[in-house]
Structure 1
């Protein structure tokens, strides 16, 4: 769940730091390592279930080991920002929040590698706090960073900056007020799924259960309002006549997707670009001065696209539109539910999967409307017809 958001942040931070991603090969390798080691981490939530000493030892070691590649990513992101000209846009704020919140969640997560402590923490609010700092502070904040960053590319509209800042701060403050106190509650022994507690169990002073649960409740409302503000931002952006069409390159981006029109065509490029650099789009816009180690802009985004599309392919073949993939997707929950509860339903799901796979495989490879012929350069420079602001 966390790796897609890690990828988003690895795109966003270099753009708003005005620097390439520090240690790109290491970032890529650490992502693969997280994907592999992650399969051996989950059971640290089951140490109280009687796994046995060998299983507990193995999962304790993997819980400790996964801190290495995740720590590497944190260092790479921090070093990318170090010495850069940081722009605190909404995507960048959410990306920085991910780095901070995920680090907190990771520090509490490493404690699960200590089997005796983890056994005591099992099924307490400490686990809830750790999980949400990783999942919400990590994965969800990364997704919101991506929403704000790629929204102009997807819909040609840039989300409102003022509403976005309220959205960000309410979510950050609300998340920490909600899940931060749960570390204290969990270490004091408050179990999960606890509806009420007696005064005898509530604790005194700083460790009073009632006080910290009230703080968490207030934070949850702030967090919910922050998420709702994102929906308000989306509605305002697409309904208000005051919102102008976003430029092709509103963030001075670095990667290939910004070399397409907004929103991109189904086939992305009229001409397959030749990639010579990691940040190809950036290097087409800027030249590096070897003497000063600075950069000078030599082309705008529009000029880069015009040059790329000056000689489009004469004929681009696109797959036909098909409803078989969505039918296949709907078949999977049927067989999944059937495997657990009903063999007849499992057979029905299996039949639907086979039917949809056969239909998809036998679908004609051509149809009257599956081709795209780019116009001649003099007739539009290789672009398709003008799209509406909502695509």
Structure 2
């Protein structure tokens, strides 16, 4: 049997060198790169939010100009939604889902790498607008006619093309995970034996598949308006600006669930693990997840109650919006019942998971308030909506991300984050979050409109804005603590112990660091919480479903990087009206596609003698 040192060496095999990272198609490395890139964009979006709160700290400040403020709120929202939260979830899905279903990789490794690099280059393109004349300034929703105004900078051109490229990558990821989960589950793993994070990833991928095409079409139409003189959204020439709102929110509301369902899945893994109990109401949780996704496509017009759709349309969408609170409530009660009577521990991951519940609940309650169409006329475009949205996305998605980050860090990186610093991060960020956004409910009810770069004295808005800004600084301090924790953890040499949390699912059934092939032998799944069942039966390892044999693995390729770079170059040709550059970039992309089709790539085999024997982890059952 291999020693611990030999296991670590095998797990780290093929994990070094810049070229290896540029050419990798390994889902674990792609997950790490998704996470790191998304986290960098998260830091950038956080800096933008702090600058926004400095400007609004006191009445009539001139810390930034009105134009810069418009750019900041546009880039903050766009970065956090498209380039931070969603890619970090995709990173966790890449790193964990194949392990949870007992697979050796995703269904389409090449496409997985292409999706990653499209996201990275799309995000770079969007943020290069800061240095090339001005960032987009029409809000993250890009409402026409603001987004069809040609008198300003080229920032909206960067917005359209950057998000178009990144969106292609996300769509590829969604398709990949649907096929992976349907086709590559280990023997014995039926759909109703899948872990809840895998279920959440599956339903999220279906949402991506159906929600992103409308957005892609909308971006195409907006691109034609801006680059080729069409008039889809130019009202003066017969276009319709309200159609853009419909197109955007048909994507935009399912997008909220693309951001929250993976967080729901993370909680459904973290809470049972640290309660030492099976998830309460597993079947109900699965059907609630699917129902949330279905209803998510039927509520988009609640963002448009004030556009004049009429009482019938407003009533239908109001009822649908209220209805979606029911399956969400099922989830909240099931998490509470899971903890009830459990042997609860509170490492940092579980602190974030438990804090998620009341924080997200506040966002849900204010969402029901906003679903009442006549009341929405008063709430709309005030800071009440800003508070609601951030309680859902930060109190929900970001808290879920942090829970998953602390929970799966040893699985992804082979080391344990420091718990003392983790708890300091939790309390500073948690307190700062509520200080920032809870007062904004009252600012909105007092009449403060959103998207304004300053406010006047004597309107009783000073105290709320000051407290809100102080809270934002405290969230920034918490994020710095997390950065320090990551740097310190990366510098230390100790490798995490096997199964450090006494896990329940297959992702904890293999060595740390994870071998390149994941499973030397595909496991035989005997029920829900497959690893826990083996522990209860006195086994210290999964029962193999196949004899030990050579393992086939896909080859790496530089083509995904080059194809994404080609789109990146072509975008500058469109933005600056350089036809040759645009054609050259597109030609480079299609040449790489042709090259891919003619390359005889059958992958490689790892001999069974080189596979790491399963280590006796000393089951804790």
Instruction: Assess same fold via TM > 0.5.
Output: yes
1:248-267 alignment, distance < 5 Å? 248-267=498-517
1:152-301 alignment, distance < 5 Å? 152-200=410-458, 202=459, 208-240=460-492, 244-287=494-537, 298-299=538-539
Any stretches of 5+ residues in structure 2 without a counterpart? 1-258, 616-621
Cα distance in 2 for residues equivalent to 1:285 and 1:342:
64
- Partner residue of 1:78? 336
Cα distance in 2 for residues equivalent to 1:226 and 1:182:
21
Aligned length: 356
Shift of 1:348: 6.8
Question: Contact between 2:348 and 2:403, CA under 8 Å: does it hold in 1?
Answer: yes
Q: What are the Cα deviations for residues 282-321 of structure 1, in whole angstroms up to 9, with x where unaligned? A: 111124xxxxxxxxxx34xxx416x759x85321111111
- Partner residue of 1:6? 264
**Alignment partner of 1:66 out of 321, 324, 346:** 324
Shift of 1:279: 0.5
Task: Give secondary structure in 2 for the equivalent of 1:304.
Answer: coil
- Partner residue of 2:27? none
Cα distance in 1 for residues equivalent to 2:327 and 2:591:
42
CA 1:140 to 1:332, structure 2 compared with 1: closer, same or farther past 3 Å? farther
- Partner residue of 1:364? 600
Q: What are the Cα deviations for residues 29-86 of structure 1, in whole angstroms up to 9, with x where unaligned? A: 2112222221233332222223333432332122112111111111111111111111
Question: Contact between 1:172 and 1:223, CA under 8 Å: does it hold in 2?
Answer: yes
- Is the aligned partner of 1:119 residue 2:377? yes
TM-score (norm 2): 0.53
Question: Contact between 1:325 and 1:360, CA under 8 Å: does it hold in 2?
Answer: no
Cα distance in 2 for residues equivalent to 1:338 and 1:6:
42
**Alignment partner of 1:317 out of 552, 560, 568:** 552
Task: Give secondary structure in 1 for the equivalent of 2:557.
Answer: coil
CA 1:263 to 1:245, structure 2 compared with 1: closer, same or farther past 3 Å? closer
Question: Contact between 1:255 and 1:280, CA under 8 Å: does it hold in 2?
Answer: yes
Question: Contact between 2:435 and 2:470, CA under 8 Å: does it hold in 1?
Answer: yes
Cα distance in 2 for residues equivalent to 1:174 and 1:12:
23
Cα distance in 1 for residues equivalent to 2:287 and 2:589:
35
Cα distance in 1 for residues equivalent to 2:330 and 2:523:
32
Question: Contact between 1:312 and 1:374, CA under 8 Å: does it hold in 2?
Answer: no
Q: What are the Cα deviations for residues 13-36 of structure 1, in whole angstroms up to 9, with x where unaligned? A: 110010011111211121122222
- Partner residue of 1:387? none
Shift of 1:334: 7.6
Cα distance in 1 for residues equivalent to 2:484 and 2:560:
32
Question: Contact between 1:46 and 1:122, CA under 8 Å: does it hold in 2?
Answer: no
- Is the aligned partner of 1:304 residue 2:522? no
CA 1:330 to 1:274, structure 2 compared with 1: closer, same or farther past 3 Å? farther
Shift of 1:354: 4.3
Question: Contact between 1:123 and 1:191, CA under 8 Å: does it hold in 2?
Answer: yes
Cα distance in 1 for residues equivalent to 2:269 and 2:573:
40
- Partner residue of 2:389? 131
Cα distance in 2 for residues equivalent to 1:382 and 1:273:
11
Cα distance in 2 for residues equivalent to 1:329 and 1:102:
36
Cα distance in 1 for residues equivalent to 2:576 and 2:349:
43
Structure 1 vs Structure 2 CA RMSD: 2.7
Pick 1 or 2: higher relative contact order, CA cutoff 8 A, min separation 6. Answer: 2
Task: Give secondary structure in 2 for the equivalent of 1:2.
Answer: helix
- Partner residue of 1:36? 294
Cα distance in 2 for residues equivalent to 1:123 and 1:338:
37
Question: Contact between 2:291 and 2:327, CA under 8 Å: does it hold in 1?
Answer: yes
Question: Contact between 2:272 and 2:338, CA under 8 Å: does it hold in 1?
Answer: yes
CA 1:264 to 1:329, structure 2 compared with 1: closer, same or farther past 3 Å? farther
CA 1:329 to 1:137, structure 2 compared with 1: closer, same or farther past 3 Å? farther
Shift of 1:355: 4.2
- Partner residue of 1:150? 408
Task: Give secondary structure in 1 for the equivalent of 2:469.
Answer: helix
